[in-house]
Amino acid sequence: MNKTFRLYGIIFILVMLLLVLLEMGKTERTDWRKNFDVTKKSPFGLYIFDNEAGHLLKGKLKRTQLSPYDYYSATNRFPQNILVVQSELDIESWKKILTNVQNGSDALFISEEFPAAVMDSLGFRIRTSSLRYDNVLKLTDRKFKRDSLILDKFADGRGFSSFGDEASVLGTAAFDGGKLNFIKIPFGKGNLYLHSQPLFITNYYLLRPGNEKYVQDVFSYLPDRETVWFMNTTGDAAESASPLRFILSKPALKYAWWLFLAGLVLFVIFNAKRKQRVIPVIEPLKNRSVEFVKSISNLYMQEGDFHDMMAKKAQYFLNRVRQDLLLDTQNLDEKFIYALQLKSGQPEQKIPEAVNLLQKAQDPYAAVTKEDLITMNKLLDEILR
């Protein structure tokens, strides 16, 4: 295993162990944000309401991720109940809802804010007071006088400050001067129910004993028929279909995942540096000419064919004379002996003796001895030295 890779592995394992120890010693922190998210179990999420909404509406609940505009552009089913919880509706979606209410549907809006254009068209206003940190929500109907809900976390005294003559008051905040927080506005053949305190359906308040009665009373104003809950009208996508959604939903797994990716990137960066390739050692070719010559000479010596060896030596010598000394070797006569002596610069007695041995080597019937071969070889090498 590469030493660098082993080092990276050890560092990665140590960092992972450190993160695990930090995660084990970390105190769980409560998320007090008002997220109104049906998937969140935090105090102000809607996880419990989402699970109980079907039972609360007698099994006639239909959830949709479409905006009211898209939903009612594809279907014209009415009358029915419409439920919107803390969602930002565009004007076109509001128009679709109001059209359905006008034709006999009933809509329940549980939200802290309403668009200015909608408030102007329906004739109501929202006012916020933060004088108190707790409040008691009650309904005006005498049959619900025993049912109430105490807001003791982030109560802001939000309520309706004005509304038209046709509107009726359904709920108030008892400790805030009777501020109105639940009203009913007739519209065409249907009704609009507006509640300005969505906190009452969050996990924190639904888990308190007795608060469920107030919630049931609020939803009892809706007729006994199908209710369409527009769960996501802010343009957010439905639950992610990514296979990483579970990992990214858990803080510990999410940190481990990002750390793994960061470590992988660092490993690639440092390990991707250009490295010198291993250059194989190539042994130079050995000059085996001498060995070859020795082998051939040994072969001839064993055979004892001295005449053939002299003939080949003579042939090689005369070829050198033709190429190097530019002499004609057709006739090995006196003229050739004189010219060779001049060109080679050798003593006069060597040349005739060498030529005599050359003629003997060229004669296939001449009798030669080992001593002749040795002498001729010595003379010819001296002449062309």
User: Contact, 356 vs 380, CB < 8 A?
Assistant: no
pTM to 2 decimals? 0.57
> Are 21 and 68 contained in the same domain?
no
Residue 274 has pLDDT above 70, yes or no: no
Range with the lowest mean pLDDT among 60-64, 114-118, 164-168, 370-374? 370-374
- The whole-number pLDDT of residue 56 equals 92
Q: From residue 250, give the alpha-carbon distance in Å to each of 60, 235, 244, 246, 259.
A: 33, 24, 10, 7, 14
Token pair belonging to 228 = 């369409």
Asked, for residue 37, whether it belongs to a domain, the answer is no
> Are 230 and 264 contained in the same domain?
no
> Are 207 and 139 contained in the same domain?
yes
Asked, for residue 152, whether it belongs to a domain, the answer is yes
> Are 262 and 197 contained in the same domain?
no
DSSP state for residue 210 in the 8-state scheme: T
Asked, for residue 182, whether it belongs to a domain, the answer is yes
pLDDT tens digit string along 282-303? 888 877 777 777 776 776 666 6
Range with the lowest mean pLDDT among 212-226, 234-248, 320-334? 234-248
pLDDT tens digit string along 137-181? 999 999 998 899 988 887 777 888 888 888 999 998 876 566 888
Asked, for residue 35, whether it belongs to a domain, the answer is no
pLDDT tens digit string along 49-84? 999 999 999 999 999 988 898 898 887 777 899 999
**Structural domain count of the chain:** 3
> Are 180 and 100 contained in the same domain?
yes
Contacts of 163 (CB under 8 A, 6+ apart): 122, 123, 124, 125, 180, 183, 185
Cα–Cα distance between 322 and 330 in angstroms, integer? 10
Cα–Cα distance between 46 and 285 in angstroms, integer? 84
CA neighbours closer than 13 Å in the CB half-sphere of residue 210: 9
Q: What angle do CA 112, 180, 169 make, to 5 degrees?
A: 115
For 102, phi then psi, to 5°, come to: -60, -25
For 314, phi then psi, to 5°, come to: -65, -45
> Are 137 and 195 contained in the same domain?
yes
- The whole-number pLDDT of residue 277 equals 65
Tell me what the pLDDT averaged over the chain comes to: 82
Token pair belonging to 238 = 């439905």
Backbone CA torsion sign across 110, 113, 115, 116? positive
> Are 263 and 197 contained in the same domain?
no
- How does residue 223 score in pLDDT terms, banded at 50, 70 and 90? very high
Q: What is the DSSP string of 152-170?
A: -SS----EEEE--TT-EEE
> Are 304 and 353 contained in the same domain?
yes
- Give the N- to C-terminal CA distance of the chain in Å, as an integer: 62
Strands 190-195 and 168-173: unpaired
| Angle, helix 370-383 to helix 350-362, in steps of 10 degrees | 130
> Are 223 and 338 contained in the same domain?
no
Cα–Cα distance between 19 and 26 in angstroms, integer? 10
Q: b/e per residue, 60-77, with b = 16+ CB within 10 A? A: ebeeeebbbbebbeeeee
pLDDT tens digit string along 191-203? 999 999 999 999 9
Residue 237 has pLDDT above 60, yes or no: no
For residue 120, give its domain range.
47-236
Asked, for residue 200, whether it belongs to a domain, the answer is yes
Range with the lowest mean pLDDT among 21-30, 141-150, 199-208, 216-225? 21-30
Token pair belonging to 192 = 């609009």
Helical (H) or strand (E) element with 63: strand 61-64
- Nearest CA-CA partner of 137 in 32, 218, 209, 46: 218
- The whole-number pLDDT of residue 273 equals 60
> Are 302 and 262 contained in the same domain?
no
Asked, for residue 280, whether it belongs to a domain, the answer is no
- The whole-number pLDDT of residue 75 equals 78
